[in-house]
């Protein structure tokens, strides 16, 4: 399916890197390295130079922590979105929020995508996307409350649940007026899932791709990688890339990442092996 993310459209054989930019002082990976606005802007410049097609700006870490009001979340992201939009007119800007109030302000400032990591916790978010002709990412969380960790979550079939919930969310967005080509689904690794669930979703991602909705995966340095390999946050790149390769072979279209260059190389290699992408240069044995 051709993707339209705000002002940009992408062919149905394109894979996209969505670079994470945290406007938080307590993010699990960078520990607040881009909390200051200028540092966050430098991160945007760096990932654009590295080839990221999308930046995903977030104002609240996913894990439990200090309560952040909608007003504080807007203070963290809205003016920053406007600054990025002014400097990068053609860049796809995503905002990681579940709140319709924040989403509306971010779209008014120039955001193209609403990345709802919490599975429709605010039902009005789809209306905001429709009003602003923005794209929306529909995730599966098993109905957990935003910013809570899963505890003894059980599914009869986690992949069937992820497909059922994300497709229902996508259809609700479509009914609200979001363009079909602007709706993406995401199994949401770790969110509402234990490590075994996230591994199974990775192994069976092709079933989500088979729904016909474009699939986004957010794998980068997550707990399921760390628990599988017994590694802390700063040592999960290789495991992340292994999971990325599996999802690429299955046909995921968008990859939410910390390490843009490494993820791009892994995805491009897998898509070429799968016959979806030609090599950049192929002269061996020919010249």
Token pair listed for 127: 């209306």
List all residues 6 or more positions away from 275 whose beta carbon is below 8 Å from its beta carbon: none
Fold (topology level) of 3-7+21-273: TIM Barrel (3.20.20)
What's the confidence (pLDDT) of residue 104? 98
Token pair listed for 118: 């919490």
Beta bridge partners of 16: 254
What's the confidence (pLDDT) of residue 29? 84
Q: Can you list the residues of the chain whose pLDDT is less than 70? A: none
For 158-177, write each residue's pLDDT tens digit: 999 999 999 999 999 999 99
What's the confidence (pLDDT) of residue 147? 85
What's the confidence (pLDDT) of residue 62? 87
Distance CA 248, CA 234 (A): 23
Q: Mark 142-173 as b/e (b = at least 16 C-beta within 10 Å).
A: bebebbeeeeeeeeeebbebbbebbbebbebb
Comparing C-alpha atoms, which of 158, 157, 156, 97 is closest to residue 129?
Answer: 97
> What are the residue ranges spanned by the domains of the chain?
3-7+21-273
Distance CA 125, CA 139 (A): 13
CA 223 to chain centre: 16
Token pair listed for 194: 């234990």
List all residues 6 or more positions away from 109 whose beta carbon is below 8 Å from its beta carbon: 78, 79, 81, 82, 85
């Amino acid at each position: 399916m051709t993707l339209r993310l705000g002002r940009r459209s992408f062919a149905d054989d394109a894979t996209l890197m969505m670079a994470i930019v945290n406007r938080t002082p307590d993010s699990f990976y960078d520990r607040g390295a881009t909390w200051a606005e200028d540092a966050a802007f430098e991160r945007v410049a760096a990932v654009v130079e590295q080839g990221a097609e999308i930046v995903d700006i977030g104002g609240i870490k996913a894990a439990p922590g200090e309560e952040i009001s909608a007003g504080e979340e807007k203070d963290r992201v809205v003016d920053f979105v406007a600054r990025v939009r002014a400097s990068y007119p053609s860049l796809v800007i995503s905002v990681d929020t579940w709140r319709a109030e924040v989403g509306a302000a971010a779209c008014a400032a120039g955001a193209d995508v609403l990345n709802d990591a919490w599975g429709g916790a605010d039902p009005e978010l789809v209306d905001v996307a429709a009003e602003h002709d923005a794209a929306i990412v529909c995730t599966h969380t098993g109905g957990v409350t935003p910013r809570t960790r899963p505890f003894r979550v059980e599914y009869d079939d986690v992949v069937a649940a992820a497909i059922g919930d994300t497709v229902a969310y996508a259809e609700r967005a479509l009914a609200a007026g979001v363009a079909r080509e602007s709706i993406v689904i995401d199994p949401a690794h770790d969110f509402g899932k234990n490590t075994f669930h996230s591994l199974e979703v990775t192994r069976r991602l092709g079933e989500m791709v088979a729904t016909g909705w474009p699939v986004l995966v957010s794998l980068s340095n997550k707990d399921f990688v760390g628990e599988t390999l017994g590694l802390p946050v700063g040592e999960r790149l290789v495991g992340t890339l292994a999971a990325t390769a599996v999802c690429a072979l299955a046909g995921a279209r968008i990859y939410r990442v910390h390490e843009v260059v490494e993820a791009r190389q892994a995805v491009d290699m897998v898509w070429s092996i799968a016959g979806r992408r030609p090599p950049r240069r192929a002269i061996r044995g020919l010249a």
